[in-house]
Structures are given as C-alpha cells and as structure tokens.
Amino acid sequence: MEKNIKDSKKQTSKKSLNSASVSSRATNPLAEKTGDIVAKINNFNAFRTTNRLFSGGMTSPISTSHKVVDYSELLQELNQNFKDAEGLNDLFSKVNNTFKEKMDSNFTAFAIFHEQSKCLNLKLYTKRGETYSSKILLSDDTNSVVEAFKTVSCVSKNDVKFLNIPYMQNSAAFMIPMVSKNQCIGVFILGKENTDLNVGLLEFFANHLAMYMHNAELLTKTNKYANTDTLTSLYNHRGFQEILSAQIQKAEENKTHLSIVMLDVNNISKINRELGHAKGDEVIKLVAEKVKQNIRPSDSAGRYGGDEIAIIMPNTDTAEAKYLAEYITYCLSCCFVDDVGPVKVSVGISTYPECTKDQEKLLILAEQAMYISQAKGYKEGMSAIISSSDYNFWDDVALNSFAEILAKRHAQIGINFEEELLHKFNNEQIKSQNHLMEMATSLAGAIDAKDPYTKDHSTSVSRYAEALARAINLPEEEVERIKLGALLHDVGKIGIPESVLKKPDKLLDDEWEIMKQHPTIGAEKVLEPNEALRDLIPIVKYHHERIDGKGYPEQLKGEGIPLAARIVSVADAYHALISDRPYRKGMPVEKACEILKLGAGTQWDADLVRHFISIAPSLSTSV
C-alpha cells in the first residue's frame, strides 16, 4: 500500500496540528510537564481522519494485531526518554525501545540532514537491537525518505527496499519529517505493519525530536565558541584548563605520565611593533596550524597566552614530549613568513607527576622552562627545548624567569613569588654545602631585589662579615657559618610590604615598627622550618641589637648579643654607609669608618669595630 498523504482531509487535520505545534514551540519541549503532554494527547485522540492509511474513527487506546496501544502512556514514556537521554545516540536507542514495547514496531530510523555532503545520514535500530548506518543522497528523488524531506510531508511505503539495507526484514514504513523553527532537519521513520496510526502524534513527536536536536546543536556550538580561541581555533585559556584538569584526573587514576609542552613565538613583540599586529597574528595562526597538524589525536592544544601555545600530551613522559616537541619545532623552522623569515619558538616542558601534581604549578614550571629556553636561544638553527627537570631552580636565569611568571600571574593564581620561593627553599633537599650556599645566595638576591636601593646588599655584607671573622681568627667552620648567616641576615624582609621597603622618604613610626619585625620573621618563618639552617637563627634574629641595649627585637646588650650577630651588625652598618640611598649618596670609606668609631661601644662592639677599620681599606668599595 503506497500513498503520499496530501489529500484535502489531511490538510484539515494539519491545520489542527499546526495550532497545537505553535503552542508547543512557545516552550522547550523538554521542560513540559506530564500534565501538559496528557492534555495534548487528548487533543490528538479527538483528531479524526478518513485517510485509509491511518484508519477512520481514531480513539485511544487502539487495538492492533499484536497489542493495545495506549497513546497517553506512549507519549509519557517518550517524554521520559528525552529527560533521561545522555546524548543523541542514547535518545535514539531509548526511543526505539519505547516504540518496540508500546507499539510493537519492527524498527525505527533517523535520517539527519548533513549540509556539507548534501545527504541524509541514516541510523536504523531494529526490534532485535541491531543498528545500521548508511547515507541517502538528496539527489535520489525516487527515495521515499528524500521525498518526505523535500516535501516536508508524511510518506508511507509497503516495504523497506528504498533503505537499501541487506537482510532487512520487510515491513511497512512511515516517514515523518522532523521540523524545527520552520526548517526540516531530517526524517523519522517508523517500521510497522499495522496501519492504525495517529499521524498527529507522530508529527508531534518528530517535531519535538527535531527541537531537541536543534537545541543540542546550539548548545554544542555555544560551548565550542566559549572554549575556542577565535584567532587560532585552538582551545582558549578556559577550555585548555578544563581539558587539562580532566586529563590530570585520568593520569592520577591510571598512574600514567602527562606532559605539558609550551611554545612561545620569539620576537613577537618586535613583529607587532615593526610590522603590525596583523603580521603578528599571521605568525601565531601559522604556529597554531602546524601544531594542529602534528600533534597526536590524543593530544590537545590551546592558546595559553597572547603568543603562547600549550599542548597537553597524555600518557607521555619527558623524553617522549621532547621528541614530539623537536618534530614540531623542526616543522616550524621550515616555514617562512614574508618580512619575518623562519618561525622560531622557545619550548618548555613539565611532566606530571615528576615535577608536581598541582595543575597551576605544572603550568608555571612549563612556562618557566620556556623562558629559560628563550634565554638560551638557538643552537644550530633549532630551539633549545628545556624541561623543568633540566635546570637548577636556583640558577639566576631560572629564578628570574620564575619571578617574572609569578609577578605576571599573581592576580590570576594568587601565588606570591616570595612565599613560593620560601616554600621551595624550605622543601629543597640539601645536597652539599655549596648547594646550600647557592640556594641562600639566590634567595638573598631575590629579597634584595625587592628594594632597588639594596641591590647585592646581602652578598656584600656576607663578604665583609667573612673578612672580619677571619681578622679575629675564628675557626674555619665558624667563619663559614657567619658567611652564610650574613648572606641571610635580611631574609625576613620577605614578609615586609613593598610599600614600606621601597618608600623613598623617612619611615613613619608605624612603618618603622613593621620594618623592625624582619629579624624575627627571618628567624621564625625562614630558618626555623629548615633544620639545616637553625644554627643561623641567632645571627639573623639579633643582628640589629645594640651594645647599649637599645636595639631590637629583644633589647639584648653587651656580650649577651651572640658574637656572630655582632660581626654581621658591623658589616651590615658599613655597607649601608658606603651605599647610595634615596636621601644621600654613599659615603667614602674614611667617613664610614669615622661613623663606626663614633658608635663603637654603644651601637657596635668596640673591639670588632677596631679590627674592621683596619681591614676596610682593603675591601672593595664597589656597591
């Protein structure tokens, strides 16, 4: 039996249906309550048609050759399918099961229009649970599915030969166009022998399905745009962080590695400045394209910053990440941009869990390695690919890059450079005395850098204190302890606000009280947690005490002040006198020595001042 349902009586029924459809489009079909749906079902059950394919007087329930169909129950079950579905394929499967159970259907199929290929992608579900997929070209006007799609009208067939699926059980079939926002997006096909069907209900369901798919597509596009960088089509910062978080969780669950490869376009600021931002964007887009072409299917890439592109590499250790990064940089080096030349990038790598298990720190370490790569430049035309396990954290270049990253991202991630540095310092495994000195020098240098007027202050005080300790013939072990203690004597300034440290004018009383806390902060916050440095606490805590008891923090006097602290106090004062300050130029050696003499016996140890004055001229006066 074969007929296109277009007769005049069908038109009358479609008018009734259209009025219901208009009402249904006013709200999201997925949000409708069951009571609303039942009301619509009652309208459908009142519908009558004399079309021989859909049987005359229609009431609910209707007897078929196999079972009684309760349309109210059917539609409520379909509504539940929409609510419970976890994606489109899951919905199709649930819908097939519902029609099979409630209507004894032989199959259901969904033919979805694909714009680019100009075809209908068909997915068919049988009563036994098998699935078939095929394509129906829109150019095949003899195909009943194409007819239903193009005419946006219901079509029936006595057999399913038009589906061209081998071994398919023969059955009558009904094609119902799926319409959303006045646009046909596909065809719903129901395979059923019995012709006692409610066309209004089928159209209602097909249109709801179309609206569900339309909404799902819009949601996918919205999420894609929300997480996609418009220039490169890579993940944007937000999307990249979400993917990384999920991949780290997988790596933790599966006990696998995960590497971050971060690339930075060299000289991009110069390109933007001299050639314009359009040229800079051209370079960044080229790098993004090459990254997309050469990463693995399991990898994910995102635009991490203005000119930084980062790649997430699951199940990849440092050695594998380096190999892949080398290949990408080689491909980029073969690309030439007009007026720019070959594209050069700096590359940094960090690996989970060796480097850290923290997501933000993993990114910070990759970025730090990238900065170090940038500092090392090119060798034989290739990028210096640096991993966070390749460099010494306390190296000047590494430390400066670390400070630069945290300063740039402090507002975003809430990690303070000094606090993070201190955390690293107290958790470092001390390998040797030289290693300890290297760390202490770097830490002291970072603290001194907070105040532009005390550059190299700690290293100079350490050198002067060492010279004075040798001048009074202290044992070598004690000299080394004083040298290290002097290097860290101002480490407590890590906790002093920069507004106080950098104030060019005289400090107010309350500001001075804050500044006077730095010896205690250095002793308790920096040295106390580190067992290897606890014997330096007296030096750091008491180097601002005075012989007359008017110093701080505990007003110790005379020999009650540890000798090492008295030595550092003289060295500290001398360097302060010969150094430039906001309010005066540095003094000559002779003038500084005169002031030390005047304070001998009251502010400083008189015997130590005498020994220091004798060696002062031989010390370098460079500041």
| Tens-place pLDDT, residues 572-603 | 999 989 887 666 688 899 999 999 999 999 99
Q: Are 363 and 384 in contact (CB under 8 A)?
A: no
How many CB atoms lie under 10 A from the CB of residue 142? Answer: 7
- Nearest CA-CA partner of 299 in 281, 265, 319, 325: 325
Q: Where are the domains of the chain?
A: 3-225, 228-412, 416-623
Residue 221 vs residue 601, higher pLDDT:
601
Say if residue 51's pLDDT is above 50. no
Say if residue 463's pLDDT is above 60. yes
Looking at this protein, which amino acid is placed at residue 66? H
Mean pLDDT of the 309-333 span: 92
| 564 beta partners | none
Say if residue 265's pLDDT is above 80. yes
Report residue 232 CA to chain centroid gap. 16
State which fold the 228-412 domain adopts.
Alpha-Beta Plaits (3.30.70)
pLDDT at position 48 is 35
Say if residue 12's pLDDT is above 90. no
Cα–Cα distance for residue pair 264/277, rounded to 1 Å: 16
- Nearest CA-CA partner of 209 in 243, 245, 178: 178
Q: Are 486 and 441 in contact (CB under 8 A)?
A: no
- Homologous superfamily in CATH for domain 3-225: GAF domain (3.30.450.40)
Residue 216 vs residue 183, higher pLDDT:
183
Per CATH, the number for 416-623 is 1.10.3210.10
b/e map 394-414, b = 16+ CB within 10 Å: beeebbbbbbebbeebeeeee
Cα–Cα distance for residue pair 581/495, rounded to 1 Å: 22
Provide the total of helices (H) and of strands (E) in the chain, helices listed first. 23, 18
Say if residue 184's pLDDT is above 70. yes
The pLDDT confidence band at residue 454, using thresholds 50, 70 and 90, is low
pLDDT at position 228 is 83
